[in-house]
C-alpha cells in the first residue's frame, strides 16, 4: 500500500499549501463586490482618421492612462476590448461623472498675444467677468440662496449681459447660469488675442498650488526646451508693452498676464508659467490632469457606465457565500447519507477541491465577481457529479459480487470515460466563452474552467488517494461501509426479456 500512501501524502501537502496561499495572498475582488465605477469608452473616427488601428488605440490609451493616474484612484485598470473600445475600472470611485469629464475632455492649451487696439474692449470684458466671478462666489457660499438671486436679478448690468448672450433665464439653475455667462465672457476675451506657435504639446508637466494670499488655486506649467524658448520669445515680444499674454484653454481665456519691463531683453526664461484663473481645488486638479495627460489624438465617447456601491457588494458577497456554503452542507449530508463511507470520502475530497480552487484564484489571480462565484458553485456541482459517477459504479460492482478492493479499482476505471467526456464538453464551452465573451462573462468562464480542470484532478486523484488510504485500515475495509448488505450479493443478474 506504500505507493498509495504517497498519493495521500501529496494531497495533504497540496492542501496545506493551499491553506497557506489562501491566508497569505488576498483575493482580487471585482468591482461588483468591492464597489466602484466601470466605464466603457469608444474611440470615434474623425474625417482625418477614418479607420481605427491598434496603433491609434494605443495612442488614446497612453493619454487616458496618464489622465487616469492623475485622478488618484488606486488599482485602476484600463484594458482594450475589441478593436475600438477601452474598459476602465475605478475601484472605490463613486462619482463616475467626474472621471468621465476628465477622461473625455481634451484640454487644448494655447498661449496668445493680445491684438493691437483691443485694450478698451478687454478692460470692459474683464470688469464684467470680475463681477460675475464675485456673484458665482457669493452663490456658492450661500448655497444658491433665493434672496440673493432676487437681488442679483434686479441688477441692470447683469440683465444686459443676459440679453447679450440670449439667455432664457427660466431654463436653468442660477449658479450654472452665471458659470455659463463667465464662459461666454472668457470666449469673447480669447477672441481678442492672436494665436502663437506655443501650445500644450510643448508641456512637460503640470501641477497645482494654492496662492497664500487669495487662497485661490493656480495651475503651474513647465515646458520642454523648445517650448521654453518659444515662451521666452513670446514674453520678450510683449514685455513692457500694454499688450497682454492670454492663457487660453479650449478656446476660453483663463487668465491674461502682463509681462514686466525687466523681461525686455531675454523674455521669461526657465520654461515655467502659472495660470491663475480663480480655480477651486477640484477645477485646478481636473485641469492639471487634462493638461498633463496631453491632448487625445481621437475623440472618445463614453458608452457605458456602471457604478456600484461598496456596501451593496459586501452584502451580495455575504449572501452568495452563505447560500453556497449552505448548499454544500446539504450536498455533503446527502452524499454521506447515500454513499456512507464513500460519501464521507467525497466530502473530504470536495473540501480539498474547494481549497485548491480558491488558492488557484488567489495565485493566478482571478478577479472574483458575482458571476464568478456562481461559476465556482456550479463547478462544485460538477465535482460532485464525478464522485457520484464513481460511487454508483462502485455500488454496481459490489452488487455484482466483486470484492471491495477490486470494485474500487473497477469503479474508477469504468467511470473514467464518462467523467472525461462530461468535463471536456464543459471545458470546451468555457474556453469559447473566455475567448469570445467580454467582461463578467469572461470571469464566469475563467472560474468555471479552472473549476472543471481541478474537479477532474480531484475526482481522479484525491478521491482515489483518500479512499485507498482509508482502505489500508483493516477496520474500515468492510463492504457494509459502502452499501446495505441486503442488496448484495445477488447470485446472478436477471435479464427479463
Interaction with another protein in 149-178: which residues (CB under 8 A)?
170-173, 176
Between 41 and 122, name the residue whose CB sits nearer to another protein: 41
Applying CB under 8 A, the span of 125-133, 211-219, 297-305, 353-361 interacting with another protein comes to 297-305
Question: Which residue's CB is nearer to another protein, number 259 or number 368?
Answer: 368
Which residue, 111 or 178, has its beta carbon nearer to another protein?
178
* Residue choice 57, 370, 404, 450 for contact with another protein (CB under 8 A): 370
**In angstroms, rounded to a whole number, what is the distance separating the alpha carbons of residues 446 and 376?**
10
Binding segment (CB under 8 A) for another protein, from list 135-143, 214-222, 243-251, 369-377:
369-377
Question: Is 272 among the residues that bind another protein (CB under 8 A)?
Answer: no
Residue placing its CB nearer to another protein in the complex, 107 or 273: 107
Q: Which is nearer to another protein, 180 or 191 (CB)?
A: 180
Would you count residue 100 as binding another protein (CB under 8 A)? yes
Residues 218-257 that bind another protein (CB under 8 A): none
Farthest CA pair distance, the chain: 117
Between 192 and 415, CB nearer to another protein: 415
How far apart CA 201 and CA 473 sit, in angstroms, is 78
Give min distance, CB of 430 to another protein, in A. Answer: 8
Extract the C-alpha cell encoding 139: 452663490
How far apart (Å, rounded) are the C-alpha atoms in residues 33 and 30?
A: 6
Q: Per rule CB under 8 A, is residue 73 in the interface with another protein?
A: no
- Of 457-496, binders to another protein (CB under 8 A) are 487, 490, 493, 495-496
Q: How far is the CB of 142 from another protein (least distance, A)?
A: 18
| C-alpha span between 159 and 44 (Å, rounded) | 40
Sign of the dihedral through C-alpha 202, 206, 211, 215: positive
For the bound state, the minimum distance from the C-beta of residue 487 to another protein, rounded and expressed in Å, comes to 7
> What whole-number distance in Å separates Cα of residue 179 and Cα of residue 165?
13
Q: What's the rounded Cα separation, in Å, for the pair 283 and 280?
A: 5
Between 92 and 297, CB nearer to another protein: 92
Of residues 237 and 320, the one with the C-beta less far from another protein: 320
Pick the closer one to another protein by CB: 212 or 497. Answer: 497
Shortest distance, position 33 Cβ to another protein, whole Å: 11
When the beta carbons of 353 and 440 are compared against another protein, the nearer one is 440
Q: How many angstroms separate the CA atoms of 27 and 29, rounded?
A: 6
Q: Which of 281, 424, 476, 485 binds another protein (CB under 8 A)?
A: 424
The DSSP string of 376-394 is HHHHHHHHHHHHHHHHHHH
The vertex-72 CA angle with 302 and 273, nearest 5°, equals 95
Residue from 183, 385, 457, 479 touching another protein (CB under 8 A): that is: 385
Our CB check for another protein shows the closer of 214 and 425 to be 425
Query: Which of residues 178 and 469 has its CB atom nearest to another protein in the complex?
Result: 178
Residues 86, 223, 114: CA angle, nearest 5 degrees: 105
Contacts of 382 (CB under 8 A, 6+ apart): 422, 423, 426, 451, 452, 455
> Considering only residues 421, 476, 480, 485, which one is a binding residue for another protein as defined by CB under 8 A?
421
Interface with another protein (CB under 8 A), residue from 377, 454, 456, 462 = 377
Shortest Å distance, C-beta 159 to another protein:
19
Smallest gap from Cβ 358 to another protein, in A, equals: 16
Check if the beta carbon of residue 422 is closer than 8 Å to that of residue 382: yes
Query: What minimum distance in Å lies between the beta carbon of 433 and another protein?
Result: 5
Chain positions 300 to 319 lying near another protein, rule: CB under 8 A, are 301-312, 315-316, 319
Q: Judged by CB under 8 A, which of 374, 410, 453, 479 binds another protein?
A: 374
d(CA 490, CA 102): 78
Closest-CA residue to 252 (of 129, 124, 165, 132): 129
Question: Torsion-angle region of residue 484: left (phi > 0), alpha (psi -120 to 50) or beta?
Answer: beta
Residue from the set 70, 91, 96, 293 that interacts with another protein by CB under 8 A: 96
Contacts of 450 (CB under 8 A, 6+ apart): 357, 360, 361, 364, 366, 379
Q: How far is CA 66 from the centre of its chain?
A: 15
- DSSP-derived letter for residue 27 is -
33 binds another protein (CB under 8 A): no
Q: How far apart are CA 101 and CA 95, in angstroms?
A: 11
Between the CA of residue 244 and those of 235, 259, 303, what are the distances in Å? 9, 7, 42
When asked if residue 88 is in the footprint of another protein (CB under 8 A), the reply is no
- The nearest distance, CB 374 to another protein, in angstroms, is 6
Amino acid at each position: 500500500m506504500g505507493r498509495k500512501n504517497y498519493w495521500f501524502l501529496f494531497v495533504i501537502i497540496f492542501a496545506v499549501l493551499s491553506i497557506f496561499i489562501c491566508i497569505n495572498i488576498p483575493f482580487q475582488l471585482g468591482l461588483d463586490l468591492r464597489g466602484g465605477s466601470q466605464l466603457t469608452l469608444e474611440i470615434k473616427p474623425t474625417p482625418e482618421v477614418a479607420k481605427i488601428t491598434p496603433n491609434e488605440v494605443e495612442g488614446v490609451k497612453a493619454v487616458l492612462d496618464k489622465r487616469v493616474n492623475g485622478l488618484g484612484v488606486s488599482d485602476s485598470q484600463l484594458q482594450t476590448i475589441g478593436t475600438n473600445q477601452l474598459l476602465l475600472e475605478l475601484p472605490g470611485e463613486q462619482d463616475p461623472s467626474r472621471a468621465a469629464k476628465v477622461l473625455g475632455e481634451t484640454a487644448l492649451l494655447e498661449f496668445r498675444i493680445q491684438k493691437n487696439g483691443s485694450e478698451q474692449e478687454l478692460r470692459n470684458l474683464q470688469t464684467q467677468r470680475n463681477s460675475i466671478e464675485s456673484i458665482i462666489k457669493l452663490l456658492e457660499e450661500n448655497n444658491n440662496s433665493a434672496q440673493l438671486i432676487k437681488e442679483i436679478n434686479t441688477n441692470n448690468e447683469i440683465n444686459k449681459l443676459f440679453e447679450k448672450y440670449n439667455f432664457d433665464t427660466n431654463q436653468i439653475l442660477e449658479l450654472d447660469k452665471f458659470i455659463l455667462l463667465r464662459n461666454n465672457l472668457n470666449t469673447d476675451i480669447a477672441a481678442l488675442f492672436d494665436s502663437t506657435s506655443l501650445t500644450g504639446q510643448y508641456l512637460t508637466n503640470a501641477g497645482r498650488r494654492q496662492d497664500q494670499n487669495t487662497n485661490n488655486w493656480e495651475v503651474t506649467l513647465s515646458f520642454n526646451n523648445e517650448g521654453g524658448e518659444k515662451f521666452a520669445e513670446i514674453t520678450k515680444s510683449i514685455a513692457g508693452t500694454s499688450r497682454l499674454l492670454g492663457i487660453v484653454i479650449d478656446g476660453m481665456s483663463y487668465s491674461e498676464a502682463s509681462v514686466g519691463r525687466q523681461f525686455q531683453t531675454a523674455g521669461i526664461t526657465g520654461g515655467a508659467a502659472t495660470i491663475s484663473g480663480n480655480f477651486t481645488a477640484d477645477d485646478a486638479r481636473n485641469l492639471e490632469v487634462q493638461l498633463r495627460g496631453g491632448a487625445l489624438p481621437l475623440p472618445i465617447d463614453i458608452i457605458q457606465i456602471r457604478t456600484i456601491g461598496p456596501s451593496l457588494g459586501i452584502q451580495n458577497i455575504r449572501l452568495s457565500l452563505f447560500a453556497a456554503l449552505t448548499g454544500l452542507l446539504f450536498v455533503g449530508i446527502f452524499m454521506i447519507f447515500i454513499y456512507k463511507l464513500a460519501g464521507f470520502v467525497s466530502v473530504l475530497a470536495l473540501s480539498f477541491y474547494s481549497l485548491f480552487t480558491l488558492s488557484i484564484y488567489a495565485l493566478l489571480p482571478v478577479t472574483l465577481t458575482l458571476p464568478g462565484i456562481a461559476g465556482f458553485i456550479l463547478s462544485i456541482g460538477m465535482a460532485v457529479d464525478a464522485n457520484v459517477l464513481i460511487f454508483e459504479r462502485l455500488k454496481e460492482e459490489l452488487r455484482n459480487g466483486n470484492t471491495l478492493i477490486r470494485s474500487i479499482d473497477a469503479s474508477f476505471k469504468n467511470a473514467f470515460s464518462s467523467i472525461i467526456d462530461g468535463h471536456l464538453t464543459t471545458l470546451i464551452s468555457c474556453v469559447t466563452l473566455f475567448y469570445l465573451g467580454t467582461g463578467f462573462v469572461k470571469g464566469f468562464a475563467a472560474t468555471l474552467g479552472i473549476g472543471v480542470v481541478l474537479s477532474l484532478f480531484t475526482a481522479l486523484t484525491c478521491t482515489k488517494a483518500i479512499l485507498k488510504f482509508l482502505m489500508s485500515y483493516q477496520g474500515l475495509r468492510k463492504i457494509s461501509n459502502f452499501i446495505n448488505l441486503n442488496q448484495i450479493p445477488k447470485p446472478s443478474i436477471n435479464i427479463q426479456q
